[in-house]
Structure 1
Amino acid sequence: MFVLALIIILGVALVAGGLWFAANPGSLNAEWLGWQIETNMIFGLIGLIVFFVALWVVWQLVLTFATMLGLRGVKTRGNLVGAAKGMGEAYAALRVGRGGQARVEAHRARRAYRDPVKCPATLMEADGYAMSGEAEAARDLYKKLLDNHDTEGGAIRGLLELAVAEGNDAEIREYTERAFFKVDNPVWAARPALDEAFRSGRLEDVEKPLQVLEQSGQADADEMRRLRSDVFLKRAEAAKASGRKGDAVTLARQAVELVPESETAVDTLARMLAADGKARKAEQLVQDTWRKAPHALLARTWRDLAGGKDANALATRMQTLAALNPDHPESRLAAAEGAVEAKLWGQARTQLQPLITNQPCMRTCLLMARVEDGESGDGAKAQDWLRRAVAAADGLGGVETPAAPGTGIQANAA
């Protein structure tokens, strides 16, 4: 309604002005370099308007040619100095984590450029948005910068970091693939690509990020062996799921050969060997690993390989395993748990005694609670150990060694 009223008012004003000029045409005389122009005021105004329109068209043509030559925007030395200062201050702000200030300074530098895609400060402005939590604004700028060869790599990295923060696997896959194709040795894309490939089960995509990590020196030899061992384990699980038992055993064995002390790899191979009727080889594998690197998961593997033994036989079996590395805390915990299951309270207490002198871990406290409750029925002491177990679990006690899933200790904790 307002717009309609404004149009009517302007129309009336134009008509009234036209009628007034028609009644009072006046005259306009101009002389310049021997040229003399005589006309009435109406034609003079029309000529003036035409002149300014022509001037504007010429100016637009000049700007168009300047843009084609890459000169548009930086019009004076002052523009250039201001842009450089803004970019410097934006970079400094990014270095100290002040995303908001970086965004403002980079935007000021960008004013010297007509096209933001051509301005190097735009990338810093997008980083500033991302750092200050304005993900959508950052994403919009990053996507614009994908069209500029000079800023494409930085834009891909920015979009990848946003995707990782949001847990968007589809975009992580898209931008890591683009990084490997467009950017030389993109180390920053390797780990997100590797993690996403493991999560999605696309094991055929892990080799490229592994190569990038290895060539860049961002992963040492030990880490590379662990990563490749994880790949073999994943492939072994996939082979087992598809019924290819022989391939599964071969792949699991390769994982163990890469990282012999890996409890996960040893557990996987041992269980596959046992399922294939090679229980003795499975037991030997667990024993060899226990001598070098005892772990709660291997204690569970050793226990499960025994099958349906009674509690006393199981306690003896756990003592056999513990004897291979008798002073290690995991050996004492494994032997103590077997003794508790068999109600051999004195034997369990003997194994746990060296572990309670300082700050015992949660598993030790839970086992001691069962010993106090089972040996003497002293509920007060058992409750005290349970409280200490809670404190240890909250980080107030000793360092906790993760228990294997399904152990008697965890069952009591629940």
Structure 2
Amino acid sequence: MWRTVVFFTEVAVAVAVVIWFLDRPGEVFIEWQGWELETSFGVMALAILITVIFLSTLYILWKWIKRQPREILRSRRYRLEAKGYRALTDGLAAVAAGDARVAKKLARKVDSLLKEPSLTLLLSAQAAQLDGDEIAARQYFEKMLDRSETEFLGLRGLILQALRDSDDASALKYSQRAYFLQPSAAWVLETLVSLHTKEGRWREAQLLVEEAQRHKRMSVEKGRYQQAVLLTERARLSIHDNKLSQAFEQVRKAYNLDPTNSAATVLLANLLSKEGKKRHSRKIIERSWRLEPHPSLCQAYLEIVGDVSELDRYRSVVQLTKDNRDHPDSRFAIAEAALAASLWGETKQQLEALERLSPTARVFRLWARLAELGAEDDIAARRWIDRSTEAEADRTWVCSKCGTVADDWASMCLNCDSFATQLWKQPPRAHRAIIPSDLPLGSKLAEKKPEIDSSSAVIEPEIISRLK
């Protein structure tokens, strides 16, 4: 609509100008250097208009001719870039498909067409890795460090190479540089924390986690969990170094951050128990059991109860599990204690409930013990044992990153060295390998943290009073 209005306005103006000239005829006389020109005003105006149009056309033609060489070069460059980007795309596809020969060929083609190292170095490095040429790949990654736009990608490649080669020193150096460039990258933080914890540098790892929490680079829940794990390890190391007050403060803070951490709970309860604070230590375990039951909590609880009759141990387990009696771990703990106290009816009642709630292998093994001890029926006991071999596996510690299972909790996976990835759950059917719990976390860490007997720990009275 607006364009139509403008068009008719322009036509009206042109018609008005023509009419104005027609209504005002006249003559033009020009004398210059002996030349005389006499004509009407309309003819003169038309001649001027034609001259202007002619000169404008010549100017446009001159500019077009002048611009052609540059346009030809630009067009050729665009065609080469288009071919280069197509080759780059095909090269990345070849890397994804695992075709090393085609990837290397396309990497050379991209380099000749684009002349942009920032675009071709990564493809060349990946093609070299795919071909098994780690030396060439490292050289490409190192070249990427010289350019700001590819420095972070080059560091990532060098970090992965160092980790594959078990070169933790180089991996740590490159990771620290990558963290300086992009501290918000989650994989850089995880790599740094894992490298520090692998060498037993718990304090350095904790500082990284605290910084990530302050800058909101890590969720609150994950940060509290990781800090609790790190503080637990620091407490163990402090006990080994006979820094008992420091150890107590560390494990107390770990427990407050994450009461569901069974390792921190057991360590804190044992320290308090050895100082005569058995009632307080039992309350700590009862709170953790209420939040997240775990067999190690029940074992520690009964150790604190001490050398009493089996019936008293049963009563202690009932006290421990009073707030969540229907949880499978609570029922199993009661069933075990009842069986030891020769309470066959209570044992049977709990096992029947467990068959409905959580029919895992341990339930049928306990049925076999009940058949053997209560009814002295060896045939029935063997049937229960047979059923246990076909039942679902019991819950254990499973690494959420690599799926490896372990008997006991550890701050690091002993298979993939990942930190704070062990979860208490049923292991996958495809993976049943158990890592022995007595393997060290690393030669350096094993030297720093041998097995600790918390019974030898003595805590100053004023430190104990802070928990009251």
The two structures have a TM-score, normalised by structure 1, of 0.69
Deviation for aligned residue 1:253: 1.0
Deviations 1:119-144 (A, max 9, x none): 42111222344467654443332133
Alignment of 1:111 with 2:106, yes or no, is no
Match of 1:86?
Answer: 87
Matches within 5 A, 1:247-262: 247-262=246-261
Deviation for aligned residue 1:166: 4.6
Distance 2:246 2:80 in 1: 67
Task: Report the residue type matching 2:84 in the other structure.
Answer: A
Note closer, same or farther for the CA distance 1:323–1:195 as it changes in structure 2 (3 Å cut). Answer: same
Match of 1:220?
Answer: 219
Residue pair 2:278, 2:304 contacting (<8 A) in 1 also: yes
Match of 1:230?
Answer: 229
Residue pair 1:295, 1:330 contacting (<8 A) in 2 also: yes
Note closer, same or farther for the CA distance 1:179–1:207 as it changes in structure 2 (3 Å cut). Answer: farther
Matches within 5 A, 1:347-386: 347-357=346-356, 360-386=359-385
Distance 1:264 1:224 in 2: 17
Note closer, same or farther for the CA distance 1:218–1:371 as it changes in structure 2 (3 Å cut). Answer: farther
Deviation for aligned residue 1:103: 4.7
Match of 2:395?
Answer: 400
Aligned pair count reads 324
Residue pair 2:184, 2:217 contacting (<8 A) in 1 also: no
Deviation for aligned residue 1:149: 3.2
Task: Report the residue type matching 2:153 in the other structure.
Answer: G
Distance 2:300 2:359 in 1: 24
Structure 1 stretch 269-278 or stretch 104-113: which is displaced more?
104-113
Calculate the aligned-residue CA RMSD, in Å.
3.0
Deviations 1:37-69 (A, max 9, x none): xxxxxxxxxxxxxxxxxxxxxxxxxxxxxxxxx
Note closer, same or farther for the CA distance 1:140–1:251 as it changes in structure 2 (3 Å cut). Answer: same
Residue pair 1:312, 1:342 contacting (<8 A) in 2 also: yes
Deviation for aligned residue 1:391: 2.6
3-state SS in 2 of match to 1:260: coil
Deviation for aligned residue 1:236: 1.2
Structure 2 gaps of 5+ residues are 1-75, 398-405, 409-468
Alignment of 1:330 with 2:329, yes or no, is yes
Matches within 5 A, 1:32-47: none
Match of 1:4?
Answer: none
Deviations 1:317-375 (A, max 9, x none): 22222223211111111111112233333322222110113661122122111111211
3-state SS in 2 of match to 1:185: coil
Residue pair 1:142, 1:156 contacting (<8 A) in 2 also: yes
Matches within 5 A, 1:1-150: 79-92=80-93, 98=98, 100=100, 102-112=103-113, 118-130=117-129, 135-150=134-149
Distance 1:99 1:256 in 2: 52
Deviations 1:163-197 (A, max 9, x none): 33454433331221221234453432110111121
Deviation for aligned residue 1:267: 1.5
Residue pair 1:99, 1:129 contacting (<8 A) in 2 also: no
Task: Report the residue type matching 2:395 in the other structure.
Answer: E
Note closer, same or farther for the CA distance 1:128–1:368 as it changes in structure 2 (3 Å cut). Answer: farther
Richer in helix (by share): 1
Match of 1:263?
Answer: 262
The two structures have a TM-score, normalised by structure 2, of 0.62
Distance 2:276 2:348 in 1: 37
Kindly, what percent of the aligned residue pairs are identical?
24
Note closer, same or farther for the CA distance 1:186–1:357 as it changes in structure 2 (3 Å cut). Answer: closer
Match of 2:59?
Answer: none
Note closer, same or farther for the CA distance 1:253–1:178 as it changes in structure 2 (3 Å cut). Answer: same
Note closer, same or farther for the CA distance 1:203–1:367 as it changes in structure 2 (3 Å cut). Answer: same
Deviation for aligned residue 1:245: 1.4
Asked which structure has the greater RCO (Cα within 8 Å, sep 6+), the reply is 2
Task: Report the residue type matching 1:175 in the other structure.
Answer: Y
Task: Report the residue type matching 2:112 in the other structure.
Answer: R
Q: Which is greater in Rg?
A: 2
3-state SS in 1 of match to 2:315: helix
Distance 2:231 2:248 in 1: 10
3-state SS in 2 of match to 1:327: coil
Match of 1:245?
Answer: 244
Residue pair 1:210, 1:224 contacting (<8 A) in 2 also: yes
Residue pair 1:356, 1:364 contacting (<8 A) in 2 also: yes
3-state SS in 2 of match to 1:219: coil
Residue pair 2:183, 2:189 contacting (<8 A) in 1 also: no
3-state SS in 1 of match to 2:239: helix
Distance 1:353 1:285 in 2: 30
Residue pair 1:232, 1:251 contacting (<8 A) in 2 also: yes
Note closer, same or farther for the CA distance 1:130–1:274 as it changes in structure 2 (3 Å cut). Answer: farther
Distance 1:178 1:340 in 2: 59
Match of 1:339?
Answer: 338
Residue pair 2:145, 2:151 contacting (<8 A) in 1 also: yes
